[in-house]
Amino acid sequence: MLPDYAEYEQAAGLDWYSLDPNLSALLDRHLPDPGDRSLAEEHVGRFGALVGGVIAPRAEVTDKHGPVLRRFDRWGEEVDEVVHHPNWTQNKADLVRNGFVSLEALAGRPVPGVVTASVSYLVSQAETAIYCGLGMTSGAADIVERYAPAAARDDLLSRLRSLDPDQAWEGGMFLTERQGGSDVGANTTRAVQDGDEWLLSGEKHFCSNVDAEVFIVLARPDGAPAGSRGLATYIVPRILPDGSANGFRIKRLKPKLGTVGVPTGEVSLDGARAWLAGGSGALDAGAGAGGADAARDGRGLNRMMEMVNGSRFGVALMGLGIHRRSFLEAAIYAGRRSQFGSRIDSYPLVRETLVDMLVDLEAGMAATYECAAAARGAQDPESGRLVRRILVPLAKMRCTRMALWAASTGLEVLGGNGYMEDWPMARQLRDAQCHTIWEGTENILCIDVRRAMRGEQAHIALLARTEQALETGSGHKVLAGALDTVAASLRDTRQAISYLEGAPDDIALLQSRRFAELLADTVEGALLVEEAAWALDRNGDARKAAVARRFISRRLATPALRGITDPDRSVLDLFEPLVRYGAIDESDLAA
């Protein structure tokens, strides 16, 4: 069991890996290969100490001293330079050096997805703004690796994946324009071919990490049709080889509510030189004279969506990071604060709040780690791809919404202090509100889940995976009731699917959020049952069974009298082992 949270003063300064036994249990479960597991221990452990001890305290300062745009130098020359607080630069340098952008380069071997996800979850607990910039750098590097022309690829990649902060370049992506964020098909940025390159002109309205060096940009090649199928994806350097600006002007930095450290600007492109991110090898082969045909192959948006899907998954991890930080700050404060002569964490309502913050966090982690591990755990690669296809938008929807709730709830545990900017919760709440919008609002994610179902039948793979998870829990008496509740919810889900398949379009759209929530609850419940069975089989510990039962009774059951007459006392009697990750005996759980 972890020490009493009252022994700590605050979360910053602590080792966040050693305080998170659920994280190490997830690594144990998803990394059965001992080599993978020890790789995880080395790198995730290192990040736990680095992020909690060094990155987090600096992040409090960068939030209060955000970037500013220096438009002109003292000669009156336009420079459009973004000036950062030194803490921001130091944090980025430490993360780059420690392989946050390219762990494979540091480890010298392939790194399982759950390891990189764990590192991102830890960094998000300190500051999601910094993860935004460096996460997009990884995404841009992947697009460059797959689609950049051979002449530029190696140079760009060696910079984007560099472990040397002085050499490292960063990436970003520009989709959104004034007239369209959700509706990217409304994009008006034009691309005109110029030999093997393209010249881009237009206005981009939200450009995060705006002082990065390489951007992945959506534009419409001249002559391409309207709508999303007419778009192509381009790779745009901010600076030309001679050091001059590449037709790129930062109009202003936006005055944001949160994620202050990362500069988000409005950008004009005026004949910016670009390479087409064409079909594999399209440019190298000179297909269609420098990619003219490839630019109009109708698949440009799909290439951009490869990056967007990766960053949607990253935003789910941002939500988990904020949720975890909110829990930790609230647990520590509740242990230290006394009112009416007792610690506030001795009061039933505070106990329930802390337990439920943790239960919902573990549910979100179950779904998100399933996305990270889907390729490895699936019966075949296509099932893994389909599970990930539908579970990533669900996890992003769920984890960002819950993070907002957790930040608000955690802030309230700190009472009036929570609302103050010299305590850590106000920033978490401000930052959390960004993530339900970034990379697709909740509505757009619900519609994307529907698209995955209609276009690819991805729900069939996810429901099969859900059933499989339930089967693993079937031998455990302590899980029997919870399992029956999830099984009933799975039947409801199937019934809802067949109803929605025959429903008029407007009704199906109207119900798409309710449906996505039912699906997310059912999947998370089943995955928690599976985790609980795994823990019981491993060493007889029923703590995760208590977590699964609590989640399922709150989210999937419909108790009489709103649960007021429910005799279950587990949030009171098992409070300590639940929030401090102690072992629980099966016999301590009510029948």
The CB-nearest residue to ligand FAD is 181
- Three-class SS of 451-475: HHHHHHCHHHHHHHHHHHHHHHCCC
Residue from 89, 182, 342, 474 touching ligand FAD (CB under 6 A): that is: 182
Other CB atoms within 10 A of residue 218 CB: 26
- Comparing CB distances to ligand FAD, the nearer of 10 and 443 is 443
Q: 365 to each of 39, 333, 472, how far by Cα in Å?
A: 20, 24, 19
Q: How far is the CB of 348 from ligand FAD (least distance, A)?
A: 37
Q: How far is the CB of 396 from ligand FAD (least distance, A)?
A: 12
- What track of x and - describes contact with ligand FAD for positions 183 through 212 (by CB under 6 A)? -----------------------xxx----
Q: Which residues of 496-513 are buried (b: 16+ CB within 10 A; e: fewer)?
A: bbeebeeeeeeebeebbb
- Comparing CB distances to ligand FAD, the nearer of 18 and 443 is 443
450 binds ligand FAD (CB under 6 A): no
Find, among 329, 388, 326, the residue nearest to 128 by Cα: 326
Residue from 346, 417, 443, 511 touching ligand FAD (CB under 6 A): that is: 443
Three-class DSSP category at 338: strand
Residues whose CB is less than 8 angstroms from the CB of residue 582 and which lie 6 or more positions away in sequence, other chains included: 1, 2, 543, 576
d(C-alpha 236, C-alpha 202), whole Å: 13
Residue from 106, 114, 175, 397 touching ligand FAD (CB under 6 A): that is: 175
434 binds ligand FAD (CB under 6 A): yes
444 binds ligand FAD (CB under 6 A): yes
Q: How far is the CB of 173 from ligand FAD (least distance, A)?
A: 5
50 binds ligand FAD (CB under 6 A): no
Residue from 176, 311, 409, 472 touching ligand FAD (CB under 6 A): that is: 176
Decide: 435 and 395 in contact? Cβ < 8 Å: no
Q: 87 to each of 12, 99, 170, 311, 468, how far by Cα in Å?
A: 15, 18, 17, 25, 47
Q: How far is the CB of 512 from ligand FAD (least distance, A)?
A: 9
- Comparing CB distances to ligand FAD, the nearer of 436 and 570 is 436
Name the percent of the chain in helix, strand, coil, to the closest 5. 60, 10, 25
Residue from 16, 88, 438, 515 touching ligand FAD (CB under 6 A): that is: 438
Structure tokens at 246: 């590449």
Q: How far is the CB of 343 from ligand FAD (least distance, A)?
A: 38
Q: Count CA atoms within 13 Å of residue 100 on its CB side.
A: 31
Residues in the chain: 591
Question: How do beta strands 214-221 and 190-194 pair?
Answer: parallel
Q: CA dihedral defined by 445, 450, 456, 461, rounded to 10 degrees?
A: 90
- Comparing CB distances to ligand FAD, the nearer of 210 and 411 is 210
- Comparing CB distances to ligand FAD, the nearer of 190 and 513 is 513
- What track of x and - describes contact with ligand FAD for positions 245 through 264 (by CB under 6 A)? -----------x--x----x
Three-class DSSP category at 220: strand
d(C-alpha 164, C-alpha 15), whole Å: 25
Decide: 394 and 367 in contact? Cβ < 8 Å: yes
Residue from 45, 53, 181, 288 touching ligand FAD (CB under 6 A): that is: 181
Q: 162 to each of 263, 307, 524, 561, how far by Cα in Å?
A: 22, 19, 37, 59
Find, among 337, 395, 269, 359, the residue nearest to 553 by Cα: 359
Residue from 302, 408, 441, 511 touching ligand FAD (CB under 6 A): that is: 441
Instruction: Write the single-letter amino acid at 109.
Output: R
Interaction residues for ligand FAD, span 133-172 (CB under 6 A): 172
Q: How far is the CB of 229 from ligand FAD (least distance, A)?
A: 17
Three-class DSSP category at 247: coil
Q: How far is the CB of 430 from ligand FAD (least distance, A)?
A: 11
Q: How far is the CB of 463 from ligand FAD (least distance, A)?
A: 25
- How far does CA 382 lie from the centroid of its chain? 23
* 218, containing H or E segment: strand 214-221
- Comparing CB distances to ligand FAD, the nearer of 57 and 181 is 181
Q: How far is the CB of 277 from ligand FAD (least distance, A)?
A: 15
Residue from 440, 473, 525, 577 touching ligand FAD (CB under 6 A): that is: 440
Decide: 517 and 523 in contact? Cβ < 8 Å: no
Interaction residues for ligand FAD, span 78-97 (CB under 6 A): none
* 342, containing H or E segment: strand 342-343
- Comparing CB distances to ligand FAD, the nearer of 441 and 468 is 441
Decide: 132 and 321 in contact? Cβ < 8 Å: no
Structure tokens at 589: 């759980």
- Comparing CB distances to ligand FAD, the nearer of 213 and 531 is 213
Decide: 8 and 583 in contact? Cβ < 8 Å: no
> Among 102-110, 374-382, 409-417, 432-440, which window interacts with ligand FAD (CB under 6 A)?
432-440
- Comparing CB distances to ligand FAD, the nearer of 125 and 208 is 208
- Comparing CB distances to ligand FAD, the nearer of 208 and 409 is 208
- Comparing CB distances to ligand FAD, the nearer of 224 and 445 is 445
Size of the site for ligand FAD (CB under 6 A): 21
Residue from 47, 121, 174, 215 touching ligand FAD (CB under 6 A): that is: 174
Q: How far is the CB of 239 from ligand FAD (least distance, A)?
A: 19
- Comparing CB distances to ligand FAD, the nearer of 315 and 395 is 315
Structure tokens at 420: 């103050």
173 binds ligand FAD (CB under 6 A): yes
| Contact set with ligand FAD (CB under 6 A) | 172-176, 181-182, 206-208, 256, 259, 264, 434, 437-441, 443-444
